[in-house]
Amino acid sequence: PKYVYRFSEGDKDQKDLLGGKGANLAEMTRLDLPVPPGFTITTDACRAYLASGEVPEELSVQVTTALRGVEEELGRELGAAEDPLLVSVRSGAKFSMPGMMETVLNIGLNDVSVKGLAAASSDERFAWDSYRRLIQMFGKTVLDIDGDHFSDALDAKKDARGVSMDYELPVDALQELVEEYKAIVKEHAGIDFPQDPRSQLDMATEAVFRSWNTERAHIYRRREKIPHDLGTAVNVCTMVFGNMGETSGTGVCFTRDPSTGRTGVYGDYLVNAQGEDVVAGIRNTLSLADLERLDKASYDELRSIMRRLETHYRDLCDIEFTIERGKLWMLQTRVGKRTAAAAFRVATQLVDEKLITMDEALTRVSGEQLTQLMFPQFDDDSSRDLLTRAMAASPGAAVGYIAFDNDEAVSRAEKGDSVILVRRETNPDDLPGMVAAAGVLTARGGKTSHAAVVARGMGKTCVCGAEALEVDSAGKTLRIAGREEVLTSEDIIAIDGTTGEVFLGEVGVVDSPVMTYLRRGLDEALKAAGDEDTRELVTAVDRLMRHADAVRRLEVRANADTPDDARHAIHRGAQGVGLCRTEHMFLGERKQFVQNLILASSDAEREAALAALLPLQKGDFIQMFETMNGKPMTVRLIDPPLHEFLPDLTELSVKVAVDRERGELDPADEELLAVVRKSHEANPMLGLRGVRLLLTMPGLIELQVRAIAEAAVERLKAGGDPHPEIMIPLIGSVRELQLARERVEHVLQEVSQASGYALDFPVGCMIELPRAAVTAAHVAEEADFFSFGTNDLTQTTWGFSRDDVESSFVGRYIDDGIFGISPFETIDVDGVGGMVSLGVEGGRSTKPKMKMGVCGEHGGDPESIIFFHRVGLDYVSCSPFRVPVARLEAGRAAV
Ligand code: ADP
Ligand code: MG
């Protein structure tokens, strides 16, 4: 196989093979932008390596050919004694994984070529600094040596020479440092630092392959739902140097502001520095405006390239560039990560600039991003104690205890505390802590620092570069310049990722502007908006939501059991209730009546129990119908296992035994115990519940339907417009539905005759057992509609309990790649989804126009919604909070 592609051979659509970085380097090369020559080793090669543990032989040969090509083009040789060619070895998977994989710069330097570089650049200091960087990076990432050994040696050297900055070290100090670094390598890796340039290249390549499987790479992929079997590509790229003095430098820029979405370019620049210095956020940076002052020609060229890239990719791009002695080089571009707010604004800006259509704009935003915009913000009226103000790196409002390291963040979060991870700066090792924390605060680094980039990607609130902070991670204390107090892990702070403010103590939170929009409409939200950014944001959200509503085929309903929930759902755009559970109507104080019903030994007792329940249920339905006036409302008849209405077997046994001992036994308790014992089930979720309960418990189904019917009549009398749809749960065979349906219709008829109102409500069923899906053509004969209960259907198709997912093997299965993601979160398209397709096809073969929907968690899950759209459902029903997300995703599914 062809394992190696020159940059001039690929293009941006080859991300699977070349990784994102490689594909985009190829694209820029194709566009004739100034990209240093190089080549990409494919993800195929990585997968072959991971499968066999060895580098394929063809790869070595192909690397030689590609390398010779680059050498010929430049007239220099890798690691030669004179004017050596140096390269970087850079990882790059299909999906960008910031900071996950390793990059090694300055490959090709050794004891000889360092002198050649010094001569060629006429800069001895630069050459030795590059060499010590190579050993440091190589030692850390390729040989797995703890980076502290190198940074400690560097710090010690600076102390010894009485300087504070790296670049102040003179040549002889750097030469000493190189020797010390080599000794560190020897001591900790047990080998000499490799002097052979090609070995350096091969070892680094292998290290990139291996880094695909590090723990932090796994964590990141799990979180971002990136499959574990893609592998990474490796890019070998001619080195260009931003650290060749004052006319050199390196930077990162964006074609629009990735944090707010404001138009206008945006970036950070560091003079006399190499790439890693910016990304690591170790020094504070200059802006692009500063670059314009320093080097107008390079700045102008960069601006024109930025515009070109944005037009070419038709999206916000981010760019890494380096200027070597006044010559601009492009090192990376990609469609840039952005905050949720920026995503909505940029999408509509591009529509207005006629670069994309509204349909395309919809694909540029996601339900997940909308969710982030719905999160609350700090209340302007809440009292607050401002500690400091720094860079607003990733929006949101987070409040929590200070956590000084990963372990602390993870363990406290597990205990249920909200924590803010506070670090001087973060690096990829901090990922677990960042995942666990509610927000991240760093003392150093700009908007393109590791903390900022990763937090934005995760939608996590982040404030960075708060220089007033003195973080002592070892001592677990935090001081703030100009303040007395010493904060510890017992103190609460609040960070505002939108303004960059850091507060001491708790701060109250309020609705976000987008939430205000969803609750109260565009006009109100515009009125409430404090600034132009906010107005543009809510306008963008409104435009995209309206477009989604216009194009989507799926109707969006909500799962709501109470009038409050139903109201919330309607405000967020729900077109009906897809699931109104009735079990809560039997809980609390009413449980007693249900117990009476279960225990009834005569018809008279049973009727008394039913009579007591009827007005209560009817009252509930009247309220729901009032709220849902004119909109459909699917009422699911009682579903949970019988035992949920009875006392716990063990507790009651103990009570009875104790009471008997004391001679205080209540005969009623004894009787109850007998019933509880008799109805005890080993697997209640697979037991007497749903339609089985309705068919075996006399009077229950009649009670519920009567309550629905009489409530509807009341509303009709009052001029209301109730639309109940009666739904029978846990159907396995058409016969069950037939029997249940007869009884439902009997009651409807009775109430209809008594009241004089026609009550021809649809009667349908849930499809949540494989048998129902497989026999759907028959079941449909008795059903007016189907609602797929994908939670139970997942449980019954896979045969494992959904109540035990958290604690059981599912986590392990995800780690081992048996599940990509929990099938309770995103529908398992092949298996459970196959059941849904069977159900849809079967049902429609009997009744082509039959209404079908889904209720359950999957109804609000973006990926699942796309599947439900494809399989031909008519609606999804989800929790009220997720209704807007479902509307947007249903729109996205349709374009
Ligand atoms: P990441 O994916 O973390 O951005 P990169 O491979 O882009 O990793 O490299 C890290 C840093 O090294 C970047 O700042 C990049 O610009 C710089 N860099 C990579 N290759 C070269 C090169 N050939 N010449 C100069 N700088 C480079
Ligand atoms: Mg990069």
DSSP string, 263-282: SS-EEEEEES--THHHHTT-
Could you count the other beta carbons within 10 Å of the beta carbon of residue 668? 9
Q: What is the per-residue pLDDT across 821-864, written as a single tens digit (0 to 9) for each?
A: 778 888 999 999 999 999 999 999 999 999 999 997 799 888 99
How far is residue 442's CA from residue 767's CA, in Å, rounded to a whole number? 50
Q: What is the per-residue pLDDT across 329-385, written as a single tens digit (0 to 9) for each?
A: 999 999 998 989 999 999 999 999 999 999 999 999 999 899 889 877 888 778 889
Specify the residue with its C-alpha closest to ligand 1, atom 13. Answer: 275
CA of 571 to the centre of ligand 2 (A): 43
CA of 329 to the centre of ligand 2 (A): 13
* CA 810 remoteness from chain centre: 19
Contact at 8 Å (CB) between 583 and 640? Answer: yes
Q: State yes or no: pLDDT of 191 exceeds 80.
A: yes
Spatial strand order in the sheet of 439-442? 385-389, 501-504, 492-496, 397-403, 419-423, 439-442, 461-464, 391-394
* 436 secondary structure, DSSP code: H
- Cα angle: 545, vertex 226, 549; to 5 degrees: 10
State mean pLDDT over 106-118. 97
Element (H, E) at 471: strand 469-472
pLDDT of residue 806: 56
Which residues have a catalytic role annotated?
450, 855
Specify the residue with its C-alpha closest to ligand 1, atom 24. Answer: 239
Name which of 181, 99, 199, 109 is nearest 145 in CA terms: 181
pLDDT of residue 76: 96
Task: Give the position, in ligand 1's atom list, of the atom nearest the Cα of 278.
Answer: 14
Contact at 8 Å (CB) between 886 and 556? Answer: yes
Structure tokens at 785: 């509609």
Task: Give the position, in ligand 1's atom list, of the atom nearest the Cα of 331.
Answer: 16
pLDDT of residue 537: 97
State mean pLDDT over 590-613. 87
- Among left, alpha and beta (phi > 0; psi -120 to 50; other), residue 690 is left
* 794 secondary structure, DSSP code: H
Ligand nearest to the CA of 107: 1
CA of 786 to the centre of ligand 2 (A): 50
Element (H, E) at 727: strand 723-728
CA of 465 to the centre of ligand 1 (A): 22
Place of tokens 């309020």: 510
Task: Give the position, in ligand 1's atom list, of the atom nearest the Cα of 235.
Answer: 6
DSSP β-ladder status, 439-442 and 419-423: parallel
pLDDT of residue 100: 59
Task: Give the position, in ligand 1's atom list, of the atom nearest the Cα of 91.
Answer: 6
Ligand nearest to the CA of 249: 1
CA dihedral 642, 643, 647, 649 (to 10 degrees): 140
Q: How many CA atoms lie within 13 A of 317 on its CB side?
A: 23
Task: Give the position, in ligand 1's atom list, of the atom nearest the Cα of 87.
Answer: 23
Task: Give the position, in ligand 1's atom list, of the atom nearest the Cα of 97.
Answer: 2
Which residues, judged by CB distance below 6 Å to any ligand atom, belong to the binding site of ligand 1? Answer: 36, 88, 90, 99, 103, 105, 237-240, 275-276, 279, 320, 322, 331-332
State mean pLDDT over 307-335. 96
Most confidently modeled of 35-39, 215-219, 643-647? 35-39
Exposure string over 492-502, b if 16+ CB within 10 A, otherwise e: bbbbbbbebbb
CA of 277 to the centre of ligand 2 (A): 12
> Which residue out of 103, 126, 133, 323 has the highest number of ligand 1 atoms within 8 Å of its CB and is therefore the one to mutate?
103
Structure tokens at 405: 């390291």
Q: How many CA atoms lie within 13 A of 118 on its CB side?
A: 15
CA of 30 to the centre of ligand 2 (A): 19
Specify the residue with its C-alpha closest to ligand 1, atom 20. Answer: 88
Structure tokens at 788: 């797929």
Ligand nearest to the CA of 108: 1
State mean pLDDT over 21-35. 97
Counting residues of the chain whose pLDDT is more than 90, the rounded percentage is 72
CA of 25 to the centre of ligand 1 (A): 12
Ligand nearest to the CA of 248: 1
Task: Give the position, in ligand 1's atom list, of the atom nearest the Cα of 99.
Answer: 3
Contact at 8 Å (CB) between 14 and 26? Answer: yes
Q: State yes or no: pLDDT of 432 exceeds 90.
A: no
Contact at 8 Å (CB) between 875 and 554? Answer: yes
Supply φ then ψ for residue 403, to 5 degrees: -120, 130
State mean pLDDT over 47-73. 96
Beta partners for residue 559, in sequence order: 579
State mean pLDDT over 857-877. 94
Ligand nearest to the CA of 91: 1
DSSP β-ladder status, 477-480 and 486-487: antiparallel
Place of tokens 């109470």: 562
How far is residue 23's CA from residue 15's CA, in Å, rounded to a whole number? 5
State mean pLDDT over 236-244. 94
pLDDT of residue 841: 98
Specify the residue with its C-alpha closest to ligand 1, atom 6. Answer: 90
Q: What is the per-residue pLDDT across 254-264, written as a single tens digit (0 to 9) for each?
A: 999 998 999 98
Specify the residue with its C-alpha closest to ligand 1, atom 17. Answer: 275
Specify the residue with its C-alpha closest to ligand 1, atom 22. Answer: 239
Structure tokens at 270: 């560091």
Spatial strand order in the sheet of 477-480? 469-472, 477-480, 486-487
CA dihedral 174, 180, 186, 192 (to 10 degrees): 30
Specify the residue with its C-alpha closest to ligand 1, atom 12. Answer: 275
Which residues have CB under 8 Å from 74's CB, separation 6+?
37, 85, 238
Specify the residue with its C-alpha closest to ligand 1, atom 19. Answer: 88
> Which residue out of 94, 234, 320 has the highest number of ligand 1 atoms within 8 Å of its CB and is therefore the one to mutate?
320
* 229 secondary structure, DSSP code: T
State mean pLDDT over 106-113. 97
Q: What is the per-residue pLDDT across 398-415, written as a single tens digit (0 to 9) for each?
A: 999 999 999 999 999 989
On average, the pLDDT of the chain sits at 92
> Which residue out of 28, 136, 331 has the highest number of ligand 1 atoms within 8 Å of its CB and is therefore the one to mutate?
331
pLDDT of residue 351: 98
CA of 124 to the centre of ligand 2 (A): 27
Task: Give the position, in ligand 1's atom list, of the atom nearest the Cα of 240.
Answer: 24
> Which residue out of 88, 106, 319 has the highest number of ligand 1 atoms within 8 Å of its CB and is therefore the one to mutate?
88
Element (H, E) at 609: helix 603-627
CA of 129 to the centre of ligand 1 (A): 17
DSSP β-ladder status, 397-403 and 555-559: unpaired
Q: What is the per-residue pLDDT across 794-814, written as a single tens digit (0 to 9) for each?
A: 999 999 887 776 566 777 787
Specify the residue with its C-alpha closest to ligand 1, atom 8. Answer: 103
pLDDT of residue 457: 64
CA of 332 to the centre of ligand 2 (A): 6
In this prediction the pTM is 0.81
Q: pLDDT-based confidence at 98, cuts 50/70/90?
A: low
Ligand nearest to the CA of 103: 1
> Which residue out of 67, 74, 94, 332 has the highest number of ligand 1 atoms within 8 Å of its CB and is therefore the one to mutate?
332
How far is residue 24's CA from residue 8's CA, in Å, rounded to a whole number? 11
Q: pLDDT-based confidence at 277, cuts 50/70/90?
A: low
CA of 55 to the centre of ligand 1 (A): 24
Report the residue count for the chain.
895
Q: Coil, strand, or helix at residue 390?
A: coil
DSSP β-ladder status, 477-480 and 469-472: antiparallel
Ligand nearest to the CA of 102: 1
Specify the residue with its C-alpha closest to ligand 1, atom 14. Answer: 275
Supply φ then ψ for residue 206, to 5 degrees: -65, -40
Q: pLDDT-based confidence at 317, cuts 50/70/90?
A: very high
pLDDT of residue 597: 85
**How far is the first Cα of the chain from the last one, in angstroms, to the nearest whole number?**
37
Which residues have CB under 8 Å from 57's CB, separation 6+?
none
The CA-atom distances, in angstroms, between 834 and each of 729, 792, 806, 871 are 20, 15, 25, 10
pLDDT of residue 103: 86
Name which of 635, 766, 660 is nearest 712 in CA terms: 635
CA of 275 to the centre of ligand 1 (A): 6
Structure tokens at 242: 């931003």
* Residue 544 identity (one-letter amino acid): L
Task: Give the position, in ligand 1's atom list, of the atom nearest the Cα of 252.
Answer: 14
Task: Give the position, in ligand 1's atom list, of the atom nearest the Cα of 274.
Answer: 26
Specify the residue with its C-alpha closest to ligand 1, atom 3. Answer: 99
Q: Coil, strand, or helix at residue 733?
A: coil
